[in-house]
């Protein structure tokens, strides 16, 4: 969104941004410290992504993330954000069984965290869940293309929607969840021309990650965006070298403690 962005981003502002052609900016956040920094930087949407399984917990995948872990992180992020529209992922195993399971999980997230919406993966197979939550007054963000919770079935992080049949499936999935009430759709690792086409045919905003510039907005995993790790995906970009800056700060601290120069008098209490 641009400088006339609202004080608090609400669901109708997402649609208004698409209609005006304003790009939506989304970043992941998993704790209050980073949420406050990103919120104050003017990020429109914060995603408490189950990528926390990879980035924060060292699980290697998103699959082990539990609803209880999500509740803790989502409460921290929602509590810190003053401006951004906060979205929490429904973890693997908390919505696939059907609308009842999805509703029970989403109600816990909404009651116990203060986020504005939930996100979960899938197209037509979860359209009934999208409808049930929407009918209950819970905004849903969809997630299509590469869906990390299905990484075992998809054979790892691979571009999705290549070829006529796969691209048709993706278009139909997007239309189905938009029709069921999704307020936005994340498109992950989708060929740029297909993501642009989906963006043009669905009424709701699309938010791309590895899906080219034709989406209505972009999302990145914050540790990739900030350069916290040695490796980041090809579609991501390092907008800083925060990992190196943090390591330098830790080393400077260690050096001063070992040299006996920290704490000095100005960082100590007198009698």
Strand partners, 187: 144, 208
Nearer Cβ to ligand KIV (47/116): 47
Of these residues, 151, 188, 197, 241, which one is catalytic? 188
Q: What is the CA radius of gyration of the chain?
A: 20
Residue 137 vs residues 93, 123, 125, 182, 233: alpha-carbon distances, Å:
22, 20, 21, 11, 35
Is 122 a binding residue for ligand KIV by CB under 6 A? The answer is no
Nearer Cβ to ligand KIV (9/26): 26
Question: Nearest-CA neighbor of 220 among 244, 204, 239?
Answer: 239
Stretch that binds ligand KIV, among 17-25, 34-42, 45-53, 259-267 (CB under 6 A): 45-53
Is 149 a binding residue for ligand KIV by CB under 6 A? The answer is no
- The single residue among 9, 27, 30, 49 that binds ligand KIV, judged by CB under 6 A, is 49
**Minimum gap (Å) between residue 146 Cβ and ligand KIV:** 9
Is 47 a binding residue for ligand KIV by CB under 6 A? The answer is yes
Provide CB contacts within 8 A for 269, sequence distance 6+.
Answer: none
Annotated active-site residue 197? The verdict is no
Judge if the upstream peptide bond of residue 149 is cis by omega within 30 degrees of 0: no
Nearer Cβ to ligand KIV (243/262): 243
Strands (E), 94-156: 117-121, 140-145
Is 89 a binding residue for ligand KIV by CB under 6 A? The answer is yes
- The single residue among 102, 117, 118, 186 that binds ligand KIV, judged by CB under 6 A, is 186
Mapped onto helix, strand or coil, the DSSP state of residue 142 is: strand
Enumerate residues 200-229 that contact ligand KIV by CB under 6 A.
Answer: 209, 219, 221
- Distance CA(6)–CA(146), nearest Å, equals 31
Contact (CB, 8 A) for 145 and 170: yes
**Minimum gap (Å) between residue 143 Cβ and ligand KIV:** 6
Contact (CB, 8 A) for 102 and 133: yes
- Distance CA(190)–CA(187), nearest Å, equals 6
User: Which tokens belong to 221?
Assistant: 């995993």
Nearer Cβ to ligand KIV (232/262): 232
Size of the site for ligand KIV (CB under 6 A): 12
**Minimum gap (Å) between residue 69 Cβ and ligand KIV:** 12
Nearer Cβ to ligand KIV (140/209): 209
Catalytic residues: 188
Residues found near ligand KIV in the complex (CB under 6 A): 28, 47, 49-51, 89, 143, 186, 188, 209, 219, 221
């Amino acid at each position: 969104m641009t400088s006339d962005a609202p004080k608090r981003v609400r669901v109708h502002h997402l649609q208004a941004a698409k209609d005006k052609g304003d790009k939506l900016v989304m970043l992941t956040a998993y704790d209050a410290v980073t949420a406050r920094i990103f919120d104050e930087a003017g990020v429109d949407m914060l995603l408490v992504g189950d990528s926390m399984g990879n980035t924060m917990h060292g699980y290697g995948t998103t699959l082990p993330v539990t609803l209880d872990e999500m509740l803790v992180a989502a409460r921290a992020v929602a509590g810190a954000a003053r401006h951004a529209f906060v979205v929490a992922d429904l973890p693997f195993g908390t919505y696939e069984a059907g609308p009842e399971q999805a509703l029970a999980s989403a109600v816990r997230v909404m009651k116990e965290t203060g986020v504005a919406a939930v996100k979960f993966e899938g197209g037509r197979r979860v359209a009934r869940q999208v409808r049930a939550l929407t009918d209950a007054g819970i905004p849903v963000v969809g997630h299509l293309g590469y869906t990390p919770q299905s990484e075992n079935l998809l054979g790892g992080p691979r571009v999705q929607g290549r070829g006529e049949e796969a691209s048709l499936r993706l278009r139909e999935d997007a239309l189905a969840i938009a029709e069921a009430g999704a307020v936005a759709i994340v498109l992950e690792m989708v060929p740029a021309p297909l993501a642009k086409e989906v963006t043009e045919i669905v009424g709701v905003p699309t938010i791309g990650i590895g899906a080219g510039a034709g989406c209505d907005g972009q999302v990145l995993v914050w540790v990739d965006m900030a350069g916290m790790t040695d490796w980041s995906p090809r579609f991501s970009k390092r907008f800083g070298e925060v990992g190196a800056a943090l390591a330098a700060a830790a080393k400077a601290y260690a050096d001063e403690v070992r040299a006996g120069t920290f704490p000095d008098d100005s960082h100590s209490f007198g009698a």
